Structure formats: structure tokens, C-alpha cells
Structure 1
Amino acid sequence: MASAPALLVLVLACLTATQAQVKVFNLRATGLPSNLISTTDGYVKVFCSSASMGETSVINNNADPWWKEEFSYFKAQENDVLRLEVYDSDFLFDDRLGVCQRQMKLGTHTHDCYLEKGGTLNYSYTLG
């Protein structure tokens, strides 16, 4: 039988590592760079820590895409890293335009992220 102090430590460990749902939504970009052939065919990959939450559809020939998809993950924790990778879909290989990452906090938040190759990604998330 477990001692009272050991049981208390176990309960406290469970309370500090409480899992929550994270929902990522309202993804849109502005000013994505064009190449010599066409305007950007953009899409976004979404991750919570190392877990893939999925990716958006590709929006062709649009420097200012707005993706309708929403992503949920049920094993998120406060301070986990939310990572969004923005790509330009191409025939041979996709170009990564930039990466946005942030430690998540409880509540609903909206952020702008400036991409390395130009443009801005705006997104919202709720953790709770």
C-alpha cells in the first residue's frame, strides 16, 4: 500500500501535467512571396510539440490566402510549443516560406508571425 506522502506526490504530479484541448483556427496569410512563374500556392502544417495536427488545403495563386480548416489536439498542455509551417506547393518540391512557433498559454489568443521568406501568417488558438 502506498504511503500518504507518496500518494500526495502522485496526485500533485497529475494536477501539474493536466492535458487540455488546443484548437487552432482562423489561419490566414498576407503578402506571401511570388516566384518567377506564379503566385504562391500556399498551405500550412500544424504541430503541437512533436505531434502533427494536420495541414490545410492548398490555395492556388493567392498571395493572401485564408484557410477554413480548424485543428484540434486533445493532449496539449500549457507551455507546449505550437508550430505552424507555411509552404508554397510546387511540382517537384515544396518551398518552406517560414515557421511560427510559440509556447501556448491557457485561453484564446491571436498572433501575427512574420515569415522568413516574406509575408505574415495570422492565426488564433484556444487552449483549455
Structure 2
Amino acid sequence: MASSLPLLLLVLCSLSVAQCQLRLFNLRATDLPSDFLGITDGYVEVFCGGSTLGKTSVRNNNANPWWEEEFSYFKAQENDVMRLEVHDSDILFNDLLGVCQRQIKPGTHEHDCFLESGGILHYSYTLNGNNQ
């Protein structure tokens, strides 16, 4: 019996991981505003539900950045709120350019979000599985 326990644990862990996964990808922005220091040094912070998923790299001096990072969250549930915060990285403090929030739904979706300070954030996400 003891020898089958690791296999059983592996199967159970695999099932819980496969139940529901959020994947955020294809993050890019257009027409980000400039400030007195110059062209925007943009990055995006990503949140889902009460969890911080991370942040992208900073794209220096680029009003139309594209980020290669992808974010995954295995505990996502349908109708969780995904929040994307677009920032301009500066020497003393970072400016918040805008916040995009959306309740996530199953399937693959592409969205455009108009930022409060100007510019548009484009992104795609996929929510797979059923975490009920």
C-alpha cells in the first residue's frame, strides 16, 4: 500500500492543477502618455482575486510597448476579478497610468482597456477548466 501512495498523490495533485487555470498573455499598449521626464517606461502589475500574479519587465522609452511575459494562476474561478495596473517607472516614484478590471469567463478572450491617463492596454486571457 505504501508504494501506491506517491502515485495517488501525484494523480490528485495533477487533478487539482488541471481543474482551472487562468493564462494571461499578449500584453501590449498603444499611445501611452509622456511625462516631463520623457516617454513612458511602462510595465504592468497583474492581480486575480486576492492574489498578486506578478509584474512585467519595464519597457523603457516606449509609448507602444509589448511584453513577452505570460501569467498563470491555477486557483482561478469563473467571475474572479482580474486587475491589470499599468505604471510608468520613474526615478522617485512610479505613476499609475490606469487600471483595467474584468470578471473572468471560461474560454479565450481578447480585450482593449482605455487607460485613465491615456493610451490603451490590449491583452488576451484563457480560462480553462471548472474549479467548482
Partner of 2:42: 42
Between the aligned partners of 1:50 and 1:94, the Cα distance in structure 2 is 22
The correspondence of residues 21-100 of structure 1 with structure 2, limited to 5 A, is 21-100=21-100
Shift of 1:50: 1.4
Give TM-score, length-normalised by structure 2: 0.82
Output the aligned Cα RMSD. 0.7
Shift of 1:42: 0.1
Partner SS state of residue 105, structure 2? coil
Give the residue type in structure 1 aligned to 2:126: T
Give TM-score, length-normalised by structure 1: 0.85
Between the aligned partners of 1:37 and 1:80, the Cα distance in structure 2 is 37
Between the aligned partners of 1:57 and 1:112, the Cα distance in structure 2 is 20
Partner of 2:20: 20
Gaps of 5+ in 2: 1-18
Partner of 2:112: 112
Give the residue type in structure 2 aligned to 1:62: N
Give the residue type in structure 1 aligned to 2:31: G
Partner of 1:12: none
Partner SS state of residue 76, structure 1? coil
Identity %: 70
Give the residue type in structure 1 aligned to 2:76: A
Between the aligned partners of 2:44 and 2:65, the Cα distance in structure 1 is 10
Between the aligned partners of 2:75 and 2:96, the Cα distance in structure 1 is 27
Between the aligned partners of 1:121 and 1:42, the Cα distance in structure 2 is 11
Shift of 1:37: 2.2
Structure 1 moving runs of 4+ over 3 Å: none
How many residue pairs match? The answer is: 110
Between the aligned partners of 1:99 and 1:36, the Cα distance in structure 2 is 22
Gaps of 5+ in 1: 1-18
Partner SS state of residue 75, structure 1? coil
